Structure 1
Amino acid sequence: MSPPWLLYGANGYTGELIAREAVARGMRPVLAGRSKQKIARLAAELDCPSAVFDLDDHTALVSTLTEVAAVLHCAGPFSQTAASMMQGCLATHVHYLDITGEIDVFELAASVHDKAERSGVVLCPGVGFDVVPTDCVAARLKQAMPDATHLALGFDSRAGLSKGTAKTAIESAGKGSCIRVDGRLVTERLGARTRRIDFGAGEKLGVSIPWGDVSTAYYTTGIGNIEVYTASSQKSVDSMRRANLFRPLLRQRWIRELVKFSAQRRVTPPDKTQRDNNPTYVWGEARNAAGEVKTARLRTANGYSLTVHSALGILGAVLSRPCNPGFTTPSLLAGADFVSTLPGSSTIRIDP
């Protein structure tokens, strides 16, 4: 039997998917979150222990963490929740995993690497679709081209959005886009970069986005110049560019909350049929100083389905074997080919 672990945010869309799969695998996580009614109902249905507390309640957080060996944190936006959970894990010597794709959270985890080492804690944010497939592609490209100086990553996903993902996107919109240049994070306007990309299902327009790999791929590969793209339409790119006019407004919390409330009323998360019938195509390109290029492609399951299996797979690895403490990335922890072991995933193909 695996050591006890906590699933915080179990009542959210992705958290509930993970909870159900965990129980189907014979696990009994402690299901936790802020909503007493939702957590109690899910825990009773799945016959799991539960805990209800707000992350601002440090006493309740620490008290709960002392009873578990690891946390799988699924309550976003992580820019608002990750710091409290990480601090609690460091204080109680509990391993920390989450499913974020937010650059600031990865940078926060990297900044407390030394504290995590001293605490004996693994900090591995981004164990879901953000950023497992792209992180594995980055690692394989680095192996194929050790002298790479530039890295571009991207994906073509036809999945719908959960309410949590929509909230996170709104939180980050006010900050603009982001790339890495010579090792430094550089903010850009939304929609600043576009290019034509064959992600794996035919050439499409790609637009740069502030995806987590702008942070994590640097720690995985050491490559100093990184961009991330997603498949888009020209209409969507034009909308992103117009949104730059409203970025100053989105920096005000009350306006973000109003926009998030409106978005949540309109968002309908994908159901099982939609998840099962919408694979994702992942692409990467490494280039060295001589202008040589290597391209990688990968096909995976829908992002939400992949998140369930990748998060539980990496959690299982952390609970079952000794791991070096400190901040790490999914591919450094589980291996560059980890994504190819997940249901619905192909191997990573490198060309030429």
Structure 2
Amino acid sequence: MTSRIVLFGATGYTGELTARALARRGATTVLAGRNGAALARLAKQFGDTETAVADATDPAAVRALLQPGDVLVSTVGPFLKLGQAAVSAAAEVGAHYLDSTGEGPFIRSVFEQHGPVAERNGATLLTGFGYDFVPGNLAGALALEDAPDATGVDVCYLVRDFGTSGGTRASVVGVMLEDGYAFSGGRLRAVRPGSQVRRFEVSGRAVSGISVSGTEQLGLPASYAGLRDVGVFLAVPSRAARAFALSGLAMTPVRRIAPLRAVASGLADRLVKGSTGGPSEEQRSRTGVEVVGEASRDGRVVGRSHLRGTDPYDFTAEILAWGATTAAEGGLKATGARGPVEAFGLDALAEGCAEAGLRRV
């Protein structure tokens, strides 16, 4: 029996793309959000699909959307500000959960705070299940499959001609005000954002990558017990990499001193607005991505993978739709907070990513 799929944040930029991807898959979806009129307009495009009104800041309203065994897809961001009610409700009710966040501190809270609750209730939580950070999990796993004795893996994301949405910009600002994390020496450690810069070769040219916090540091060690180090990097111009690393260092007092952080957060809310739309279909058609994975042992690269795909927003919508429908059809292999390899298995994940437009080259 196929479970119900509830899409929370359906009228936002990523939410609407995901609604269309689910419709293309023939999924029966409940479109949920806070604006009933906007939901009704969107639902008419899919033949009067069922809608439900709920505020992301009202935990009881979000819980009322769900039944045990449902699949909840959340695209309500910034997740550090708006995402906790949805994941908490799913874990407590026993509903499977996927989200589109790229915010490392939120991801860590899903694994550490909500994962044990979900596991007790028979639910699976898949946070960061979009371009952030499914491709890196796949690239890292493929590199590790080629090098079973590897003890480390690094992945690097490269995007060309990328246009960002308002929600993405708001998320980036929020992450700069929080500590990140790294998986180093066999354990998770708190680090400042952008604390590492390293070089990668992508399609024959060297690029600089700045370190970010993703699901790879939390999910890949669970699937590959010999891993001691996992790094996730975002390719940027060399000068930007240095500037980002310095800004992360300069922001340390703001992250540490609560009143300063509160002032910075309030200023960011006024200057950077979420829910302001995003790149058009024509703009997205010009965007391409590459993701490389490098497995290592004793400082030597012993396994490598290279993926190529389409626009990050299009990929996010398609992989969320694939993950939700697969979960609804009983395709999950583990409960609790999991990385995508552990949740679906490597072969199924590779097939799902290929359907979403990301393939190994």
**1:228-267 alignment runs, 5 A limit:** 228-244=232-248, 245-249=250-254, 252-264=261-273
Residues 328, 288 of structure 1: alpha-carbon distance in 2 compared, 3 angstrom cutoff: same
| Structure 2 CA distance for partners of 1:268 and 1:311, relative to 1, 3 Å | closer
Contact kept, 8 Å, 1:166 with 1:260, in 2: the verdict is no
CA distance in 1, matches of 2:266, 2:44: 32
CA contact (8 A) 1:129 1:306 kept: yes
Query: 1-side partners of 2:194 and 2:299: how far apart?
Result: 29
Give the direction of change, closer, same or farther, for the CA distance of 1:201–1:99 in structure 2 (3 Å limit): farther
Normalised to the residue count of structure 1, the TM-score between the two structures is: 0.88
Query: SS at 2:253's partner residue?
Result: helix
Q: Which amino acid letter does the alignment assign opposite residue 155 of structure 1?
A: Y
Task: For 1:59, give the aligned amino acid.
Answer: A
Q: State the partner residue of 1:94.
A: 95
Matches within 5 A, 1:58-207: 58-66=59-67, 69-111=70-112, 112-158=114-160, 159-200=162-203, 202-207=205-210
Q: Given the alignment, which residue of 284, 293, 301 partners 2:302?
A: 293
Kindly tell me: are residues 53 and 253 of structure 1, through their superposed partners in 2, closer, same or farther at Cα, counting changes over 3 Å? farther
- Aligned AA (1:233): P
For 1:61 and 1:125, the matched residues in 2 are separated by: 17
Q: Which moved more, 1:256-265 or 1:326-335?
A: 256-265
Conserved? CA contact 2:136–2:232, under 8 Å: no
CA 38–224 in structure 1, closer or farther in 2 if over 3 Å, else same: farther
**Change over 3 Å in CA distance of 1:140–1:259 after alignment to 2:** same
Q: Give the one of 322, 335, 338 matched to 1:325.
A: 335
Q: Counterpart of 2:64 in 1: which secondary structure?
A: helix
Show structure 2 runs of 5+ residues with no match. none
By how many angstroms is 1:33 displaced? Answer: 1.6
Give aligned-pair identity as a percent.
26
Contact 1:176 1:189 in 2 (8 A): yes
Provide the C-alpha distance between the structure 2 equivalents of 1:343 and 1:171, rounded to a whole number of angstroms: 28
CA–CA distance in structure 1, aligned partners of residues 95 and 194 of structure 2 = 39
Instruction: Assess, with a 3 A threshold, how the Cα gap between structure 1 residues 181 and 290 changes in structure 2: closer, same or farther.
Output: closer
Could you tell me which amino acid in structure 2 is paired with residue 106 of structure 1? Answer: I
Q: Could you tell me which runs of 5 or more consecutive residues in structure 1 were left unpaired when the two chains were aligned.
A: none
CA separation of 1:61 and 1:290: change in aligned 2, threshold 3 A: closer
| Shift, 1:308, TM fit | 1.2
Paired with 1:266 and 1:57, the residues of 2 have a C-alpha distance of: 19
Q: Give 1:322 deviation, angstroms.
A: 5.2
Alpha-carbon shift at residue 50 of structure 1 (Å): 1.4
Partner Cα separation in structure 2 for residue 293 and residue 259 of structure 1: 43
Mapped to 1, the partners of 2:130 and 2:97 lie a distance apart of: 13
CA contact (8 A) 1:4 1:67 kept: no
Segment of structure 1 superposing worse, 290-299 or 165-174: 290-299
What do residues 229-285 of structure 1 show as CA deviations (whole Å, max 9, x unaligned)? Answer: 111113322431442324534662342242243233897722112212211000111
- Which residue of 2 is the match for residue 55 of structure 1? 56
2:319 paired with 1:310: yes
1:101-153 deviation line (CA, Å, top 9, x unaligned): 33333333333444323311121212211111111112222222222222111
Q: CA deviation at 1:194?
A: 2.1
Shift of 1:43: 2.6
For the pair 1:217 / 2:228, whether they are aligned, the reply is no
Residue equivalent to 1:346: 359
Using structure 2 for the length normalisation, give the TM-score: 0.86
The alpha-carbon distance between structure 1 residues 266 and 117, as it changes in their structure 2 partners (threshold 3 A), is closer
Counterparts of 1:314 and 1:265, CA distance in 2: 25
Question: Structure 1's 79 and 149: CA in aligned 2 closer, same or farther, altered over 3 A?
Answer: same
CA RMSD of superposed structures (Å): 2.6
After superposing on structure 2, the runs of 4+ consecutive aligned residues of structure 1 that deviate more than 6 Å are 265-268
How many residues are aligned here?
Answer: 348
Pick which of 197-206 and 308-317 moved more: 197-206
Does the Cα contact within 8 Å between 1:66 and 1:92 map onto a contact in 2?
yes
Q: What displacement does 1:334 show? A: 2.6
